[in-house]
Structure 1
């Protein structure tokens, strides 16, 4: 069972990092658009992308915690 859960945990951790980086990039683009235009109106698409990426990060972190809890329960 641990042979399946440990790679799943590694994959989930990688997905957390990827979604975090995507969210940060969307945030930086939002800030760049706001600075260049002086308006917040054009940044709505980037803000939606940022929210989507951060929600994905939270989802993957929760799944990683569940996998860790299962590994701890199985190892006892």
Structure 2
């Protein structure tokens, strides 16, 4: 069972990092658009991309916590 859960945990951790990086990149693009336009109004497409990436990060973190809990339960 642990042979399946540990690779699943590693994959989930990688997915957390990828979604975090995508969210930060979307945030930086939004900030760049705000600075260039000078209006302070962000592009809705970038906001949606940022929100989507951050929600994915939260989802993958929750799944990783569940996998860690299962590993700990199995190890006892």
Check whether TM > 0.5. Answer: yes
Counting matched residue pairs gives 75
Unaligned 5+ residue runs, structure 2? none
Q: Give 1:66's aligned residue.
A: 66
Query: What is the root-mean-square deviation of aligned Cα atoms in Å?
Result: 0.7
Partner deviation per Cα, 1:14-36 (whole Å, 9 max, x = no partner): 00000000000000000000111
Post-superposition shift, 1:57?
0.1
SS at match of 1:66: helix
Post-superposition shift, 1:38?
1.6
Q: Give 2:13's aligned residue.
A: 13
Q: Give 2:57's aligned residue.
A: 57
Alignment partner of 1:44 is 2:44: yes
Q: Give 2:25's aligned residue.
A: 25
